[in-house]
Amino acid sequence: MEYIVFDLEWNQSSGGNEYENPRMPFEIIEIGAVKLDKKLNIIDTYSSIVRPRLYKKLQPHIKAILSYDEKTLRSGRPFDMVCREFLKWCGDDYIFCSWGSMDLSYLQNNMDYYYMKPFPTPLKYYNIQQIYADIEDADGAIVKLEKAVDHLYIPKDRPFHSAVNDAYYTSLVLSQLAPKDLQDRYSYDVYHNPKEKDDEIVSYHKNYLEHITREYNNKKEAVADKEVLTLYCYRCGRKVSKKVKWFANTGNSYICVGKCWHHGLMTGKIRFKQTRDDKIFIIKTVVPTDKRGLEGIRKRQDELRIKRQEKRHAKNSSYTDDLILEDPLD
């Protein structure tokens, strides 16, 4: 199997939202990629400019970082032609790698716009930005590509913000990290998220469990599903009892702590994700923690409780829908 490390440049409407086509808010103008063999050696590169159909004028912020202009874009070829050529270049046995999750999402959105055949689902890929964060940063903080390149002392011998160069740098970050357990560090793309119960994705990794649920009409309907709030051990898959019940950690996520009799303490997290047609699905992760982690989460829960009481007091009002959702869920 080969690794296709790819990167895209895209343009947006320079006339603001009202001139934006909602079917393709981000139009790809360049596809660049590097092909790596099993040992992460570069064996080929791909680079093409795409002639835009919707947004022919470069948006000022985008123009400022690119090394080419509208004239170069006019010399490009239509997206569907370039994309077909790119996918043919990828070969029959490959996995995508990219810096972050956006490129894969925009690629599929542009393919949809041109009514191209979608990738089979579920689609696995390697998010190198995430892998870098997990290995190099204790807090798992997400950083820009150039910062990672600096941090790893990779020579900066070509300009950033060209698709093929950024793909090249991303591939060097990957080959420098070369984690032994790379096979276990895959992600699932959620551009085409699971719709029904049967499409749900449950993936057991060495040190965490990820569950991507079906669609719900709204958050309330999602959290009313008992399955969503049940915590399973990341190692043995058994249902675990909770030490800290689910609570709203941010506006868009809940956390809890559970304990497996055999495998100890673990943190559960659910994140609400919005689909393109305004529905909701959930990404639930379960990762191991320890006593310190448990205390940290208890502290966080207390702080949030106090904040909420202060807010309620200040408003001098009773419960609102918003607050009911913030209460423990089970």
Least distance (Å) between residue 269 CB and Zn ion: 17
| Per CB under 5 A, 224 contacts Zn ion | no
Candidate list 35, 211, 214, 235; residue touching Zn ion; CB under 5 A: 235
How many angstroms separate the CA atoms of 152 and 18, rounded?
42
| Per CB under 5 A, 206 contacts Zn ion | no
Cβ nearer to Zn ion, comparing 52 with 268? 268
Candidate list 135, 202, 236, 306; residue touching Zn ion; CB under 5 A: 236
| Per CB under 5 A, 83 contacts Zn ion | no
Which one of 42-50, 113-121, 226-234, 284-292 is the stretch in contact with Zn ion (CB under 5 A)?
A: 226-234
Least distance (Å) between residue 264 CB and Zn ion: 8
What tokens appear for 127 in the block?
């998010």
| Segment 254 to 283, residues that bind Zn ion, using CB under 5 A | 260, 262-263
How many angstroms separate the CA atoms of 260 and 274, rounded?
31
| Per CB under 5 A, 233 contacts Zn ion | yes
Least distance (Å) between residue 210 CB and Zn ion: 16
Cβ nearer to Zn ion, comparing 4 with 265? 265
Least distance (Å) between residue 238 CB and Zn ion: 5
Residues lying near Zn ion in the complex (CB under 5 A): 233, 235-236, 260, 262-263
